[in-house]
Amino acid sequence: MNKTKSTAFLGVCTAVALILAYIEVILPPIFPVIPGIKIGFPNIIIIFLLYKKSPVSAIIVSLLRILLVSLLFGNTMSLAYSLAGGILSILVMIILKKTNKFSTVGVSVAGGVAHNVGQILMAMLLLSTTEIMYYLTVLIVTGTVAGILIGFCGALLIKHIPEKVIK
């Protein structure tokens, strides 16, 4: 894929990730009594890029999406939490994918859990407390469930998007 087509493709992937993020914003909370839990629909695109394009493409789209979603639907605090979670998540997913020992679902689950760990670490830093660690148990469970769903969706996308669309 030449540079122009590759840039356009990543632009389309970023736009789709933004649309999925917007859908997630407008949906009612899954568990209203437990704040901050999201499924992570935009990560379907990140999984797809990680497997079909390259880690660099996944990183670019992930960072662009985090920045744009924070600007459009969030604030500076949401940017800090999203960056912490997103960076840790993408790094863990890249490392696990390179081992060739995990399926897309396994990589996605690890990414979902890593995202939550990153957010908790950022909260501990910003709030100067370790007491928020108790919330990690809930987030690990929800991150695992969300990671399974996102991993299956990503696997379907990987399977059904032909190579000619990507190249």
Domain containing residue 57: CATH number: 1.10.1760.20
Note if the pTM is more than 0.85.
yes
Report the pLDDT value the prediction gives residue 1, as an integer from 0 to 100: 64
Angle between helices 43-52 and 3-26 (to 10 degrees): 150
* 33 pLDDT above the threshold of 90: no
Number of domains in the chain: 1
Structural domain containing residue 130:
3-166
* 30 pLDDT above the threshold of 80: no
Chain segment 110-142, per-residue pLDDT in tens: 999 999 999 999 999 999 999 999 999 999 999
Rounded Cα gap, residues 143 and 151, in angstroms: 11
DSSP string covering 131-150, please?
GGGGHHHHHHHHHHHHHHHH
